[in-house]
Amino acid sequence: MKSPIQKPTFKIALCAIIAALAVMLMLITSLIPVGTYALPCFAGVLLIAIVIEYGAKWALGVYAVVSVLSFFVAGDKEAVLYFAMLFGYYPVLKAFIEGKLKSKLVQYVLKFALFNAAAVGSFFIATKLMAVPAEEFTFFGIYMPLVFLAFGNLFFLLYDFALTTFVVFYVRKIREKLLHIFK
């Protein structure tokens, strides 16, 4: 017999709920000062349940919906850019990278290459397409994007570790409760 969480109606409902929560997080990015960076991360974390339960296709569908809706409703377009350029699809890519590649070194090289490409791409999109003046990134004569990139790599390492921790927490605690509730 098929598990209740595997039924098509439950899949659609769970994906819709997670998409709504992620869009809500993106919506409040302009209300919280650190929301530009933190809330896209949290919105991406929500997709872990979809990756685990239904796979990459469903998770990428939720990612696409959240990205498009966030573009229209979120006040902080820079946060939407961070979600769309990395944090929204990273949980899917993380699962793929860790599932396919055995070498931890190769995994981390690939993950950091992805992060740095997304960070640099986001910077250029923000300055060229979103009209964020590049001068805003200079502070006391120091070109801050390089400093941000260095700290961003440290943050990304913590984010990757936090995602791994949340996956374990989800599988051991939340998933069991979902299965028990919907038996």
pTM comes to 0.85
| pLDDT above 70 (res 134) | no
Number of structural domains, the chain? 1
CATH number at residue 109: 1.10.1760
How high is the pLDDT of residue 40? 94
Region of residue 3 (phi > 0: left; psi between -120 and 50: alpha; otherwise: beta): beta
pLDDT digits (tens, 9 = 90+) for 149-165: 888 899 999 999 999 99
How high is the pLDDT of residue 133? 66
- The DSSP symbol for 30 reads G
Reading the block at residue 178, the tokens are: 């979902």
How high is the pLDDT of residue 86? 92
pLDDT digits (tens, 9 = 90+) for 6-17: 788 888 999 999
Structural domain for 107, as ranges: 4-181
pLDDT digits (tens, 9 = 90+) for 29-70: 988 877 888 899 999 999 999 999 999 999 999 999 999 999
Q: Sign of the CA dihedral 75, 79, 84, 90?
A: negative
Mean pLDDT, the chain, as a whole number? 87
- The more confidently predicted of residues 74 and 179 is 74
Q: Among 18-27, 63-72, 138-147, which stretch is predicted with the lowest mean pLDDT?
A: 138-147
